[in-house]
Amino acid sequence: MRVFFYQSISQICLTCLLKTFKALFATSKKTTCNQLDLMPIFGAQQRLGVAALLLAVSSLISRLMGLIRDKIISWQFGTGSETDLYFAAFVVPDIINYLLAGAFVSITLIPQLAQSFREDAARAWDFFSAIVNWIFIASTILTILGMCYAEPLASILAPGFSPKDQLRLAFFMRLVLPAQVFFLTGSCFTSLLFLRHQFRVPALTPLIYNGCIILVGVLLPAIPCLFSEKTSYALEVQHFGMTGYCLGVSLGAFLGAFLLPYLTARAQGLELRLCFTNPRLKKFLLFALPLMLGQTIIMLDEQFLRIFGSYLGSGWVALLNFARRLTQVPISLVGQAAAVASYPFLVQLLTQEKEDEFFATLRKAIRTALCLIIPCVGFMWATSDAILTLLLQGGRFTVAATANCTVLMQIMLLGVPLWIVYMILVRAFYARCDTLTPVLTGTCITVIALPCYYFLSQHAHANVLAITSVVSVSSYILWLMLIWLRRFGVATFAGFSSTTCRLLLATLPPTIIIYLGILYLRPSQSLYPQVTAFVCLCCAGLLFLAIFLPLLRIFLPQDAQAIIDKLKNRLKSAATAPKAQNTPPDSQ
């Protein structure tokens, strides 16, 4: 019965893929009344500040939903083999995404599409349609191949798992693989929305995606309980395992990453055609080819931790992934929102040949990001035990797992400031239509790091694997910074070292004091760990600000004053907000 159930799910996924292509070419000008009412709301344009705010809020809510998802998973399954298999199931789908430059479709497509629309709108739609068609076909073929050869791929990419676990992993892979078709194809429609400065739908995408994972993962085991009194929810959770969460991945990708952007673009005049050739297609492929062929350490680092973490024993893949996900929270909140929102405007500055404004904007973005991320990292490093106790500990996630994950998280946090610099700097390369330099540099580091990951996974502890991750990624980013300095001079990084040192002087004292306090209290081992952790985090936050802000006024008085002024302006805006509630969306 279970085998039949698994086969049915795989057949449903394949059927959905085939029907999606047919649905793409439905008449683009026919929309229902409901679509006409809703799509203008999603299609309203936003300025840079509003765009950055939308994406920042979206990242915050998405990360919170991700933390809720991880809390549920850790509570239900702890750090056992089922959790390891769930994380390992994303290796093949992510590699397909990397091979088709899925993370960079918007970056590579926006400049080409903008220029094409300026020259000839009809040919621009032909060019856009050709990109969508080829991405859909390529991603579908790779997805079907991945589903057909899931078992051998599982044995290759998770060599440390048992044969039984590898079969289970193959099933999970078949459930999550269709998501890449929706992610990759949907990223084309998202690029079109970015080009029009419409950021609301891209801001909703991760919320819908995470929401579907949580809902399907939690509700699927409850279905048998509705039809039988002989079972219980706890038994069905162990019976289904992570199946519901894997199904939620593909459903969330379809609804959030594909369907909503497509409907919004269609309501705004999308003209999608059955076209496979265009004069600009060759130029786009040459621009995107380095991103497809080159595999940088930034992209593969997470996969290396999953692949080589399988050698470390049961639970370590899950612990490495939990630690890495938590360290990615400040990166998303500080770096990703600003970088994604600013990219179209950086392209515009270069198009208008405003070089000085381009470098000034880039320098300001990096400086602002550092001023935010360094104290954030200091606080998270000092309170890692309390954070993990509050967010993950409980159920099947034990005190020992919290202790192990705390050390991994503290190691990975050391590389976060350079991650922020990378997210902004790499888009400066892409804005100059240079994808080759970041990819070649990152691929060289990957080739050097790969044997290190393998050797250390055989002979060292997980902590050493985490150190290898930080060193590899940091080496790549520093090398990229040196290349930028040689090509464009010191204008972008003027005052970089001085600002970093001053921020460290303001951050280290509260970090050390709070760390010693958390070390003494040890919330994970208290009688009421979650309550103790929450109280510790609240008190630590107030203490950190009480020490950090006066030190910041000493070492960086201008930045401290700017933060105070912004807080005052926000308070004034909040006080006058009710008067502006009836302002139309387009005027914001």
Which tens digits make up the pLDDT trace of 86-100?
A: 999 998 888 888 777
Cα gap 285→277, rounded to integer Å: 12
Q: Band of the pLDDT at 406, cuts 50, 70, 90?
A: very high
With a CB cutoff of 8 Å and minimum separation 6, the contacts of 247 are: 9, 175, 216, 220
Please give the pLDDT value at position 372. Answer: 86
Please give the pLDDT value at position 5. Answer: 42
Closest to 391 measured CA to CA, from 76, 80, 74, 86? 74
- Is position 476 within any domain? yes
The more confident residue out of 11 and 125 is 125
- Is position 553 within any domain? yes
User: What SS3 string covers 159-208?
Assistant: CCCCHHHHHHHHHHHHHHCCHHHHHHHHHHHHHHHHHCCCCHHHHHHHHH
Number of domains in the chain: 1
Q: What is the DSSP string of 450-469?
A: HHHHHHHHHHS-HHHHHHHH
The amino acid present at 328, given as its one-letter code, is: Q
Please give the pLDDT value at position 319. Answer: 93
Cα gap 203→336, rounded to integer Å: 12
The more confident residue out of 178 and 188 is 178
Percent of the chain with pLDDT over 70: 82
Q: Is the pLDDT of residue 438 over 80?
A: yes
pLDDT single digits (tens) 153-180: 999 988 888 899 999 999 999 999 999 9
Q: Band of the pLDDT at 578, cuts 50, 70, 90?
A: very low
Cα gap 193→200, rounded to integer Å: 9
Percent of the chain with pLDDT over 90: 35
- Find out whether 183 and 194 touch, Cβ atoms under 8 Å: no
Tokens at 323, concatenated: 């630690």
Query: Hunting for tokens 């056992």 — which residue is that?
Result: 80
Please give the pLDDT value at position 243. Answer: 93
Mean pLDDT confidence for 122-141: 88
The more confident residue out of 569 and 472 is 472
For 19-33, 209-223, 225-239, 439-453, which range has the lowest pLDDT when averaged over its residues? 19-33
Mean pLDDT confidence for 348-355: 76
Q: Is the pTM of this model over 0.85?
A: no
- Find out whether 43 and 264 touch, Cβ atoms under 8 Å: yes
- CA 139 to chain centroid, in Å, comes to 20
Half-sphere exposure of 474 (CA within 13 A, CB side): 14
> Judging by beta carbons within 10 Å of its beta carbon (0-12, 13-18, 19+), is residue 273 exposed, middle or buried?
middle
- Find out whether 127 and 116 touch, Cβ atoms under 8 Å: yes
Mean pLDDT of the chain: 81
Angle in degrees, CA 457, 461, 467, rounded to 5: 85
Cα gap 426→305, rounded to integer Å: 23
- Return the bridge partners of 394, or none: 397
Please give the pLDDT value at position 383. Answer: 95
- Is position 203 within any domain? no
Q: Band of the pLDDT at 482, cuts 50, 70, 90?
A: very high
Other beta carbons within 10 Å of 462: 25
Instruction: Write the DSSP symbol of residue 241.
Output: T
For 7-11, 390-394, 447-451, which range has the lowest pLDDT when averaged over its residues? 7-11
Other beta carbons within 10 Å of 123: 14
Tokens at 308, concatenated: 């080589």
Tokens at 327, concatenated: 């360290």
Residue 30: phi and psi, rounded to 5, are -95, 115
- CA 476 to chain centroid, in Å, comes to 19
Half-sphere exposure of 42 (CA within 13 A, CB side): 23
Mean pLDDT confidence for 63-81: 87
Task: Choose from 29-33, 235-239, 479-483 the range with maximum mean pLDDT.
Answer: 479-483
Cα gap 544→542, rounded to integer Å: 5
pLDDT single digits (tens) 246-301: 999 999 999 999 999 899 888 877 888 887 877 777 777 777 776 666 667 888 88
333-356 as b/e, with b when 16 or more CB fall inside 10 Å?
A: bbbbbbbbbbbbbbbebbeeeeee
- Is position 389 within any domain? yes
Other beta carbons within 10 Å of 324: 19
Q: From residue 390, how far is each of 75, 158, 251, 525 by CA, in Å? A: 12, 31, 29, 12
Query: What angle, 0 to 180 degrees and rounded to 10, lies between the N-to-C axes of helices 416-431 and 436-459?
Result: 150
Mean pLDDT confidence for 109-130: 80
Please give the pLDDT value at position 337. Answer: 63
- Is position 7 within any domain? no
- Is position 72 within any domain? no
With a CB cutoff of 8 Å and minimum separation 6, the contacts of 233 are: 221, 222, 225
Cα gap 524→385, rounded to integer Å: 7
Q: Is the pLDDT of residue 540 over 90?
A: yes
Q: Is the pLDDT of residue 12 over 50?
A: no
- Find out whether 347 and 191 touch, Cβ atoms under 8 Å: no
Q: Band of the pLDDT at 579, cuts 50, 70, 90?
A: very low
- Find out whether 412 and 470 touch, Cβ atoms under 8 Å: yes
The amino acid present at 246, given as its one-letter code, is: C
- Is position 374 within any domain? yes
pLDDT single digits (tens) 218-227: 999 988 888 8
Please give the pLDDT value at position 21. Answer: 42
Cα gap 73→325, rounded to integer Å: 13
Q: Is the pLDDT of residue 314 over 70?
A: yes
> If phi over 0 gives left and psi between -120 and 50 gives alpha, with beta otherwise, what is residue 272?
beta
Query: Hunting for tokens 């010693």 — which residue is that?
Result: 516
Task: Choose from 330-344, 347-361, 439-453 the range with maximum mean pLDDT.
Answer: 439-453
With a CB cutoff of 8 Å and minimum separation 6, the contacts of 87 are: 306, 317, 318, 321
- Find out whether 254 and 186 touch, Cβ atoms under 8 Å: no
Domain ranges, residue 356: 313-567
- Find out whether 291 and 108 touch, Cβ atoms under 8 Å: yes
- Return the bridge partners of 151, or none: none
Q: Band of the pLDDT at 341, cuts 50, 70, 90?
A: low
Please give the pLDDT value at position 429. Answer: 87
- CA 489 to chain centroid, in Å, comes to 31
Query: What angle, 0 to 180 degrees and rounded to 10, lies between the N-to-C axes of helices 200-219 and 260-267?
Result: 150
- Is position 539 within any domain? yes
Q: Is the pLDDT of residue 322 over 60?
A: yes
